[in-house]
Amino acid sequence: MTVWDPIADIAAKVRQGELKAVDLVEKSLASITKAEEYKAIIATTAERARKRAQQVDAGDNQGRLAGVPFIAKDNFLVFGAETTAASNILKGFDAPYQSTVINRLEAEGAICVAKANLDAFAHGASTENSDFFTTLNSHDKTRVPGGSSGGSATSVALELAPFALGTDTGGSTRQPASFTGVVGYKPTYGLMSRSGIVAMGSSLDTVGTFARTVEDAELVIDVMAGTDELDSTTIERDPAGYITDPTDLKGKRIGLIREYMGEGLADNVREQIEQAVAKLREAGAEIIDVSLPSLPLALAVYYILCPAEVSSNLSRYDGQRYGFSCSDAKDLSESYTRTREIGFGKEAKRRIMIGTYVLSSGYYDAYYKKAQTVRTKLINEAAEAFKQVDFLVGPVTPTVAFKIGENASNPLAMYLADVMTVAVNLIGVPGISIPCGVSGGLPVGLQLIAPQRADRELLAIAVAAERVLT
Ligand code: GLN
């Protein structure tokens, strides 16, 4: 059963006075309460949401998202609740300003109702690294929803709100979207401002959008995209915007990524992907076998560069400026160390250590510099591939949603969940996961990838693909 109308319809009805924003907010909050057992939500922003809904009903911000409730991953700075990034070290931190993308959504009338769970600081692929609790997969409560934006993905899968925001640094939007059966969009690096989002790997971080359909995602993306003076890495939006015109798959050249279809791909996922690709072919797409020879190195490159950036970004949490501070330290130096020792979880500490190591003198050339060289190689190989094809296609993840606890004590096994998503971030291109099938009751997503700045084209083809896949 579909709980919510398409987003554009909800907003239109609010503008016409057929629906009230206050009722939409209450409906969303009630569904959050009802779904508590899934532990998708860290906190609601109920009081502020109700106030904003009244303002919308009174005629304020009656824009393209008038009265539409949404849920933000708890690494977005939002008023109305603490921003914790699911980390103990940020407990008690109230955002002094909001993320640019949140402000843009609000300016069009959208209303944030809650903050969703994540792996602390977005480090993970299951939400098991949350310092607070693990979110359950809505298709099977014994399984993870993926991560790190597992709470946001589950929120949309359970229809707690029509859309949710996540982040994607190495797959954290596409992978949980695949595990929960919703649409997950990762834009070209720089298309959406990172201002007011807890930084993870600054050269990789992007804003992710979760929605039930590509069409819903387009509207949200269209509202958020574009330059922002608070983030110097932002790029111009496509002058045509991100609400696409109907297109079909006829004549589109789509490259099936050979490296993603080989060893390590679970049989049930392979089967779904092959079936989906066959449907794209039947609909007129030309499917071409494409190889990016350095792809097998992408995971190793990511797990050098990302921790390097993480170790630098997490250095600001010193107990003096944000959230938790150890109160019984005898001097400033002890306050720093004790705060970080108590406040950071295991995975954050692991990444700080790896990152510091690969950046330290003597190891910098062997690890960091070499990884940067391979990153450039990957970028060049992708550019070559995109001379042959318009889009790339492949699986999002090597398996369906795994069991809670299955990979929790083995960081390397957990990192392998990212093997098909990290390259997109290293290269900086846009990628989307759209539901393409179900295996044993568990959703499988299909990943489509486009050249840099071809977000509009990617969304258009995703709408066409969605039509033939569902
Ligand atoms: N799973 C990846 C990691 O743990 C990706 C995280 C992300 O995209 N935020 O680094």
Domains parsed from the chain with CATH numbers:
7-224 (3.90.1300.10)
Report angle CA 331, 322, 306 to the nearest 5 degrees.
105
Question: Which ranges constitute the DSSP H helices of 234-369?
Answer: 267-282, 298-313, 332-343, 346-359
- What is the DSSP code string of 392-433? EEEESSSSSPPBTTTTTT-HHHHHHTTTTTHHHHHHT--EEE
Q: Is the CB of 122 under 6 A from ligand 1?
A: yes
Q: Is the CB of 421 under 6 A from ligand 1?
A: no
**Helices 7-15 and 214-224, axial angle in degrees (round to 10):** 60
What number of other Cβ atoms are within 10 A of residue 36's Cβ? 9
Asked if 305 and 372 count as a contact pair (C-beta separation under 8 A), the reply is yes
What atom in ligand 1 is closest to the CA of residue 124?
4
Q: What is the pLDDT of residue 327?
A: 87
Looking up tokens 């994607």, which residue turns up? 168
Looking up tokens 């990957």, which residue turns up? 378
Q: Is the CB of 285 under 6 A from ligand 1?
A: no
193-230 pLDDT per residue, tens: 999 999 999 999 999 999 999 999 999 999 999 999 99
Residue type, 246: P
Is this structure's pTM higher than 0.75? Answer: yes
What atom in ligand 1 is closest to the CA of residue 129?
4
Q: What is the pLDDT of residue 15?
A: 98
Residue type, 39: K
Q: Is the CB of 171 under 6 A from ligand 1?
A: yes
Asked if 424 and 194 count as a contact pair (C-beta separation under 8 A), the reply is no
Q: What is the pLDDT of residue 387?
A: 98
Q: Output the CA 42–ligand 1 centroid distance in Å.
A: 19
What atom in ligand 1 is closest to the CA of residue 303?
10
Torsion of CA 316, 322, 323, 327, to 10 degrees: 80
CA–CA gap between residue 241 and residue 218 (Å, rounded): 9
What does each of the 470 residues of the chain score in pLDDT, given as a tens digit?
Answer: 579 999 999 999 999 999 999 999 999 999 999 999 999 999 999 999 999 999 999 999 999 999 999 999 999 999 999 999 999 999 999 999 999 999 999 999 999 999 999 999 999 999 999 999 999 999 999 999 999 999 999 999 999 999 999 999 999 999 999 999 999 999 999 999 999 999 999 999 999 999 999 999 999 999 999 999 999 999 999 999 999 999 999 999 999 999 999 989 999 999 999 999 999 999 999 999 999 999 999 999 999 999 999 999 999 999 999 999 998 999 999 999 999 999 999 999 999 999 999 999 999 999 999 999 999 999 999 999 999 999 999 999 999 999 999 999 999 999 999 999 999 999 999 999 999 999 999 999 999 999 999 999 999 999 999 999 98
**C-alpha pair distances (Å), 187 with each of 46, 226, 306:** 29, 11, 18
Q: Is the CB of 148 under 6 A from ligand 1?
A: yes
For ligand 1, atom 4: residue with the closest CA: 124
Q: Output the CA 102–ligand 1 centroid distance in Å.
A: 22
Rounded to a whole number of angstroms, the CA Rg of the chain reads 21
Catalytic residues: 73, 148, 172
Q: Is the CB of 125 under 6 A from ligand 1?
A: yes
Bridge partners for 163 per DSSP: 70, 211
Contacts for 225 with CB less than 8 Å, ≥ 6 apart: 187, 191, 192, 237, 238, 242, 455
Pairing of strands 111-116, 69-73: parallel
**C-alpha pair distances (Å), 199 with each of 77, 99, 123, 147:** 11, 12, 11, 16
Q: Output the CA 421–ligand 1 centroid distance in Å.
A: 9
Q: Cα 47 from chain centroid?
A: 26
Q: What is the pLDDT of residue 379?
A: 98
For 270, counting Cβ atoms within 10 Å of its Cβ (0-12 exposed, 13-18 middle, 19+ buried), the class is middle
Q: Output the CA 200–ligand 1 centroid distance in Å.
A: 9
Q: Is the CB of 128 under 6 A from ligand 1?
A: no
Which of 148, 149, 410, 414 to mutate for ligand 1's pocket (most ligand atoms within 8 Å of CB)?
A: 148
Which of 123, 129, 447 to mutate for ligand 1's pocket (most ligand atoms within 8 Å of CB)?
A: 123
CA–CA gap between residue 85 and residue 121 (Å, rounded): 5
What number of other Cβ atoms are within 10 A of residue 376's Cβ? 12
Residue 364 dihedral angles phi and psi, to the nearest 5°: -55, -50
299: nearest Cα among 412, 432, 392, 149: 412
What atom in ligand 1 is closest to the CA of residue 200?
9
Q: What is the pLDDT of residue 353?
A: 98
> DSSP 3-state assignment of 77?
coil
Q: What is the pLDDT of residue 1?
A: 54
Asked if 140 and 442 count as a contact pair (C-beta separation under 8 A), the reply is yes
Q: Is the CB of 453 under 6 A from ligand 1?
A: no
Q: Is the CB of 176 under 6 A from ligand 1?
A: no
Cis peptide before 294 (omega within 30 of 0): no
